[in-house]
Structure 1
Amino acid sequence: MHLLTDPRAEPGFDAPAAAQPRRLTLAFTGDGREYFRIWVVNLLLTLATFGIYSAWAKVRRLQYFDRNTLLAGASFDFHGNPRAVLVGRLLSVVLLVAYHYAFGFSSTFGMVVIIGLLLAFPWLMRGALRFRLGNTSYRGLRLGFDGSVPAAYLAWLPPAFTFLMPGVLLALYPEKPYLAALPVPLYLLWPLMHARIRRFQHAHLLFGDQHSDYTVKSRRFYRFYLVAGGLSLAAMIGAGVLAGVVGAAAGSKAGVAVAIGVFVGLLMVYLAYLFIGPYMVVRVSNLAWSNTSFPGLRIHSTLPARAFMKLQTKNALLTILTLGLYRPFAVVSVYRFRLAHLAIEVDGDIEATAAHVATRGGAAGDSIADGFGIDLSW
């Protein structure tokens, strides 16, 4: 009968401990000086080829950052085809030119172009995500993105429509400029639109054959926009007051007063941007990434808002003072800062997880990148 007895009930039996989650941090092994050399060569070759080399420059840049990003002793890699990037950039230039000059031919032609842009934009954004992730790998496993076309339209069409409509109304009815304000109430829904875009981006990620899970309520984005809106309003009020004081001090010199007032106002707005932009990046990134997970793997983002604002302010000042030459150092510092506050929690170890995914056929993700071979981003 003892054969039917649960051995865990016997005296002195110790059950094996469950595998404890491991918290892994990411690291960047590159540096600003090294990337500066790559940046200079990319810039010179891009100028020499009238922009054509920019596609190869982007692939080289992504490979540099991915191959110098380490997680548990292994690096990422990027396998994108520069020709696909070039096709995407040519397409984006054509779309931009069409948008700016469409109504110069006729209202009918302009509306056809706008409708075409609205119909193409979600599909193109989905393709860009598939290209970027499908060409990124870790431990031989391709990442991926499987968001559907209908989901892409639900995510991207409302903000694209909201953004384009004021300009379209101005082009169609130049004698009635007030009509451009009709779509303004839609901006009250912008936080929900932003939340839907982030859900589309984070809820359809793939690591081999493992599908991501994303758990964020859309209404949580409103808090960030309310804070950012309050800061923007305070900046505008401050700029107006300061411009008025400067103008009054200038006295009868109206031209000087206006010039100084405009300069002070623009400076205040720019300083506000240095704080509001980083604030939104930090809050949205922490919320979205900390609620993104895979089976047995969870992501944690803990970017500090104040430290990120200080970093971005320093980068902006040094970039201006060096006439743009500090730009590659700024890019590296921001990338390293963001990685330093991103962690991966794994049940067991990442090597075993990757090996398990690979044995289930997860490495067959190459076809994901081939599904759409155009990269629209710059």
Structure 2
Amino acid sequence: MIEQADLLAVPEQAAPPVGEPSATTQRLHFTGSGKEYFRIWIVNLTLTIATLGIYSAWAKVRRLQYFDRNTILAGASFDFCGNPRAILKGRLLAVALLTLYHYAFGFSRVFGVVVASALVLALPFLMRGALRFRLTNTRYRGLALGFTGSTLGAYVANLPPVITFLLPGVLVALYPFTAWAAISFLLYLGWPLMHGAMKGYQHRHLAYGDQQASYTLSAWRFMRPYLLALLLFMLGGVVVGIAVGIVAAVAAALGGLGQGGNSASQAVMFSLLPALVGLYVLFLLVGPYMQVRLANLTWSNTAFPRIRIRSTLKVWPFMRLQVANTILTLLTLGLYRPFAVVRVYQYRLAQVELEVDGDIEQIAAGAAPRPVGAAGDGAADFLGVDLSW
């Protein structure tokens, strides 16, 4: 029990100086539901399949509009007003690029190198265009968000990871079973710093009207989460290896007793499934850990004038949520997927808070950046490049 003397000993909080706005904490929340999104998702899926993928651009706009319009901050919702036709152009461009890259080396080595070089040069530009399109078509209180990163900055931040992804495949196609092809995979050792540089480029150039974001995180801060994730994966791999070894030994012993000569092949067959399940579980556990750590790092070091952002995601609750979502999605043959998406989105929003100096309506000022085309957005989204922010 707290004594009266202890209460008297607690100093009063100092009032903000006269003329300075008081800080308030604002939280994001989502007013949609899995049931509502399921109806949108099933229609989008059906029409996308029926139109051989053409409707996917309109499906993306419907999805973004649903989530943005149900995302509430300080009593006002966000909105998305992107043009699906522009996204469709990007999707067609993506299909063309993927087709060329997939079959390029089948025609000739020279043609393959030309296509791979074109991809290396194009992808950083398309990734920048994706961010600009997504943000300049997102509005809050009638004012557009924006992205102010330069083309040169896009190449500085995005070119190293693009080369890291493409170069090993190119060298394997040109010089299979050589030391050069094997050594190229060592580029992935620098992935934490590359990822940190990409996130720095993205977050440092976010804008809301004429309000420019600031970002204080060094790319080197990404090393610790990656190293811890690698350690967790290695320890988990040892556990999985021991379990698979036990299963293989038991299968071999039973096979030797029953058939005498086929114990080795039976051991391999019986141990393959546990090995695959074990690896999937490891990715299922390490993945949420990385998402939480990196989201907290990036967003908690991002701020706008008079607005400071804090992300307080927790590893174990998010991990349990993702595991439950995966199990339910598998049991329902994929039909639980929209409910899982909504649950994750709601949880992530609930763990983000904004500390605002004054009234957020007064901060919403300035002109929207100039809109850009969406070809880059469609291509980058189709290729699976990480554009989360």
Please give the TM-score of this superposition, normalised by the length of structure 1: 0.91
What does residue 58 of structure 1 align with?
60
Deviates more, 1:34-43 or 1:95-104: 95-104
How far the C-alpha of 1:16 sits from its partner, in A, is 2.5
Matched, 1:316 2:326: yes
Contact 2:86 2:374 in 1 (8 A): no
Q: Distance in 1 between matches of 2:192 and 2:17?
A: 49
1:24 partner SS: strand
| Residue of structure 1 in register with 2:378 after alignment | 375
Q: Partner residue of 2:228?
A: 227
Aligned residues: 357
Which residue of 301, 311, 333 maps to 1:291?
Answer: 301
- CA distance in 1 between counterparts of 2:217 and 2:238 reads 34
1:335 is the counterpart of 2:345: yes
Q: Which residue of 2 aligns with 1:21?
A: 23
- 1:251-300 deviation line (CA, Å, top 9, x unaligned): 23333311221111111111011111111111111000011011111111
- State the alpha-carbon separation in 2 of the partners of residues 138 and 302 from structure 1: 23
RMSD across aligned positions (CA): 1.6
Structure-1 residue corresponding to 2:3: none
Aligned: 1:243 with 2:251: no
Distance 1:64 1:15, change over 3 A: closer
- After superposition, where does 1:263-282 map in structure 2 within 5 Å? 263-282=273-292
Q: After TM superposition, what 4+ stretches of structure 1 lie above 6 angstroms from structure 2?
A: none
What's 1:85 paired with? 87
1:348 is aligned, of 353, 358, 364, to 358
Aligned residue runs from structure 1 range 14-53, under 5 A = 16=18, 18-53=20-55
Instruction: Report if aligned partners of 1:130, 1:372 keep a CA contact under 8 Å in 2.
Output: no
* Residue of structure 1 in register with 2:74 after alignment: 72
Task: Provide Cα deviations, 1:132-175, integer angstroms capped at 9, x if missing partner.
Answer: 0010000000000010011100111111111212111110012x
In structure 1, how many angstroms separate the alpha carbons of the residues matched to 2:17 and 2:63?
Answer: 50
Matches within 5 A, 1:159-170: 159-170=161-172
2: CA distance between counterparts of 1:320 and 1:72?
37
For 2:356, the aligned partner's letter is V
Taking structure 2 as the reference length, the TM-score comes to 0.89
Q: How does 1:132-143 map to 2 (within 5 A)?
A: 132-143=134-145
Q: CA deviation at 1:227?
A: 0.6
Q: Does the CA-based 8 Å contact 1:132-1:375 persist in structure 2?
A: no
Contact in 1 for aligned 2:307/2:355 (Cα 8 Å) = yes
Which deviates the most, 102-111 or 164-173?
164-173
Taking the TM superposition and a 5 Å limit, the aligned residue runs for 1:108-127 are 108-127=110-129
Q: Per the alignment, do residues 189 and 250 of structure 1 end up closer, same or farther by CA in structure 2, a change over 3 Å counting?
A: same
Give 2:367's aligned residue: 363
Distance 1:177 1:32 in 2: 50
d(CA) in 2 for partners of 1:216, 1:156: 17
Paired residues of 2:146 and 2:368 also in contact (CA < 8 A)? no
Query: Offset at 1:214?
Result: 0.3
The residue aligned with 2:266 is 256
Identity of aligned residues (%): 57
- List gaps (5 residues or longer) in structure 1: 1-13
2 CA distance for matches of 1:21 and 1:270? 45
User: Is residue 127–residue 375 contact of structure 1 (8 Å, CA) maintained in 2?
Assistant: no
8 Å CA contact retained: 1:130, 1:369: yes
Q: Give the counterpart letter for 1:196 in structure 2.
A: A
